[in-house]
Structure 1
Amino acid sequence: MLEAQFVPFVAACATDAISQVHGGIATYRLLTGTHPADADITGDSNFDRHVLASILAAATMDGGPVPEKAGLTGQELALLLEQYFPSVQIKAEEQLLHFKCNENDEFAMVHDLLLGQRSTEGDIGRWLAAMIARRAIEPNHLWEDLGLRNRGELSRLLSRHFAPLAARNINNMRWKRFFYRTLCEDDGLVMCTTPVCTQCNDFNVCFGDESGESRMAERRREVLLRAAGPVVGDWPI
């Protein structure tokens, strides 16, 4: 059985890239016992654990209090760990267990949208609504800031836990953009400047490619390159 302190509670304030990448991968390994690249997500329960571990790993990489970066209170995070990662022994500072997130308007709107479209029972849908809303504030593709390996994992996550909302994205719009467009439409507002997407100058903003390297893979590559020292051309010096 894996027995360890939940290090990110007390060590997530590291600011250098090397500490943060090791913190993210170490967090995922601590929670799941495996490297993110080797995660088995064939079953729904395995997939849920992978998603939760990925989000917590991404939150760790950002530095600062993990509950705030993950969109949860300290008590919610402790309960999540108890339910989904019971083999991890948590040793957290008391003040962080009572941590409460600062909710801005953007977080609240996306959170309420997701909360009202849950398609699974139990705490996980409520937690994920908060976690996704908080990570959506970050500047990268949403799947990247959730720590997932690709956009397909985000689509599966939303289709599983927020099926009514996911089903509305019939044109495969970028998910973050889709959230905000849905919020506008539900309020009777018009976000778009043209009635037909194909005629819009911002088409790629809404529907452009979302492929790329995951955050943890990218950071790991940067750390390995830095460890190899300065390079001239393709060769270390």
Structure 2
Amino acid sequence: MFTPVEDRFATGAASPAALYRRLTGVDPAAADIADDAAFDRHVLACAIVAAATGPSGVAAGLGLPPAALDALLAARFPHARGITNSVNAAAARSGDDATRANGAATASDDEFEMVRDLLLAHRSRAGAETDWLAAIVARRALEPNHLWEDLGLRSRVELTRLLERHFAPLSAKNTRNMRWKRFFYRTLCEDDGFVLCATPTCAGCGDFETCFGEETGESRLARIRRTVETAISL
């Protein structure tokens, strides 16, 4: 009997790395992302795994309606059809109201929509994949860690590549390499005529590290995998 994705993670029956391998056929550390198509597939797989390990359900955790998630899986991971129905069914069961079941960000709908619309307004090209990624990035930006971590990526370098590839006009505006999440909100404020910062220059600001500090650390996928392995060994 196939166990829904969320249930498998909750019971420890499958690890994040195992789900990534089922989606892509390789271990996360061995992913070959040299060409753009392979990179996009890697990004989507990482985001699915990150959402699957969260409390919201996969569709809600990605900011996608279940039908859009089904289309994404069918287009990018057709061999993993067994995951499609279980993910959608689990997502529909995961919340107490229609908003969560429809895959929207329940806690901060307006914030999610503003960031998603900012990305869509600066997309490099039209298409379903860009629409999915705009929603996914916006939804994962609501999480508390570095954005690259909450997307399940291996480093900030991968996030920057994602934004340069799919949202180049917006990416090009980040000329000082500001942290991406901070940059999104600063751009939204400036577009609305507000000033986010109290100081006229960044160099003398007490929050310089908040905006521009290095975004390094162990990836979310690696942390979860280490936690599971530690629990199993006890």
Q: Place the TM-score, normalised by the shorter chain, in its bin.
A: 0.7 to 0.9
Counterpart among 40, 49, 58 of residue 57 in structure 1: 49
1:141-220 map, 5 Å: 141-220=146-225
Counterparts of 1:221 and 1:112, CA distance in 2: 36
Equivalent positions of 1:47-196 (< 5 A) are: 47-89=39-81, 90-92=84-86, 96=91, 99-103=101-105, 104-196=109-201
Q: Could you tell me how far apart the structure 2 residues matched to 1:69 and 1:31 are?
A: 17
Aligned to 2:95: none
- The verdict on how the C-alpha distance between 1:165 and 1:79 changes in structure 2, with shifts beyond 3 A counting, is same
Whole-Å Cα distance in 2 between the matches of residues 12 and 178 of structure 1?
Answer: 36
- Extract unaligned runs of 5+ from structure 1: 230-237
Q: Take 1:130 and 1:71, find their aligned partners in 2: how far apart are those partners?
A: 5
Q: Distance in 2 between matches of 1:178 and 1:210?
A: 13
TM-score of the aligned structures, taking structure 2 as reference length: 0.87
Task: Give the alignment's Cα RMSD to 1 decimal.
Answer: 2.2
Residue 71 of structure 1 contacts residue 133 of structure 1 at CA under 8 Å; is this kept in 2? yes
Cα distance change, pair 167–79 in 1 and its aligned pair in 2 (3 A) = same
User: Which among 36, 44, 47 is matched to residue 44 of structure 1?
Assistant: 36
Structure 2 unaligned blocks of 5 or more? 93-97
Q: Specify the code of the residue in structure 1 equivalent to 2:154.
A: R
Deviation, 1:228, is 3.6
Deviation at 1:95, TM superposition (A): 8.1
Identity of aligned residues (%): 51
Q: Is the 8 A contact 2:65 2:104 kept in 1?
A: no
Retained in 2: the 8 A contact 1:13–1:64? no
CA–CA separation in structure 1 for the residues paired with 2:217 and 2:132: 27
1:160 counterpart letter in structure 2: R
TM-score by length of 1: 0.86
Give aligned pairs, total. 221
C-alpha deviations, 1:197-221, integer Å up to 9, x for none?
0100000000011011101111222
Deviation of 1:107 after TM superposition, in Å, equals: 0.5
Give the letter for the 1:219 counterpart.
I
Q: Higher Cα Rg: structure 1 or 2? A: 1
| Deviation larger for 97-106 or 27-36 | 97-106
2:219 alignment partner AA = S
Cα distance change of structure 1 residues 224 and 206 upon mapping to structure 2, 3 Å threshold: same
Q: CA deviation at 1:6?
A: 8.4
Any conservation in 1 of the 2:64–2:104 contact (CA below 8 Å)? no
